[in-house]
Structure 1
Amino acid sequence: MSGKTQNAESAEALVKQYFAAFNVGDVDGMLACLADDVAHDVNQGGRRTGKTQFAEFCAHMSRCYRENLTDIAVMTSLDGARASAEFTVNGTYLADDEGLPPASGQTYCLPAGTFFEIADGKIARVTTYYNLNDWIGQVGGGQ
């Protein structure tokens, strides 16, 4: 994931643009922030590569979950090549997701974080982490 980097301020603006699109359900807006060959690593899952696989993931998530991110704190490297964000996920579990407890509209609130690699003014890697056991406990699957 080589390529020209940008400065910390533009990296921060790009990440904030990505999260703003997420929070209004604007998948096209999220995709506009991504490199064509974006690497997308999801907690408890494998790597997806490219905008098509990212969009498919977003469609699945929209079917199963409604989420809004709050308390977003973005941090960037001085050269703008990397960024991270810590935030709170406020969600509703809408439809059963494979291998997880049944959905019945349960709500949840949990801390999460995402790491970004940025090149040529686009997000080249998105890696998200959260505590899956905490989420399972909140939706009633932990007991």
Structure 2
Amino acid sequence: MPANVKNLIESYYAAFNAGQPQAMLDLLSRDVVHDINQGKREIGKDAFAAFLDHMNISYRERLTDIVVMPAADGTRAAAEFIVHGAYLRTDPGLPEAHGQNYVLPAGAFFEIRDGLITRVTNYYNLENWLNQVGAK
């Protein structure tokens, strides 16, 4: 089962890098829990889709050096990667966007049930990102 979990998470990130949000959504459970980095918890595929739409307007990102680490029982996984991005449109409460580029180490935790992702929790260092986009 861990190999299937690894493939599931790799497919999720391949869809992300290909700019295919629907393919990402197809890998999520209807009641997916999304813990946004230093933000709120959202529940449901519709909320996740709205988050992706917002992100695609404000940011252009590509992930590299992706390492997926599935749990032995196949119910959870972690991933570590590098985000290469551009800040395209000002996100409310954040500094003004001018197309600033950034490179940011990040990670995520996943829960899996019945072959679908049921939780995505993302982490990155917000202070690092703020420094790179010229907020400090």
TM-score, normalising length: structure 1? 0.94
Gaps of 5+ in 1: 1-6
Matched, 1:141 2:135: yes
Structure 2 residue 125 is the aligned partner of structure 1 residue 131: yes
Once residues 18 and 94 of structure 2 are traced to their aligned partners in structure 1, the CA distance between those partners, rounded to angstroms, is 25
- Counterpart CA distance in 2 for 1:55 and 1:123 is 14
CA distance in structure 1 between the aligned counterparts of 2:127 and 2:94, rounded to whole angstroms: 11
Structure 2 unmatched ranges of 5 or more: none
1:44: how far off? Answer: 1.2
**Structure 1 counterpart of 2:21, which letter?**
V
Alpha-carbon offset, residue 109 of structure 1: 0.2
Structure 2 residue 12 is the aligned partner of structure 1 residue 24? no
Q: How does 1:80-119 map to 2 (within 5 A)?
A: 80-119=74-113
Q: How many residues align?
A: 136
- Alpha-carbon distance in 2 for matches of 1:27, 1:126: 15
Query: Matched residues, percent identical?
Result: 55
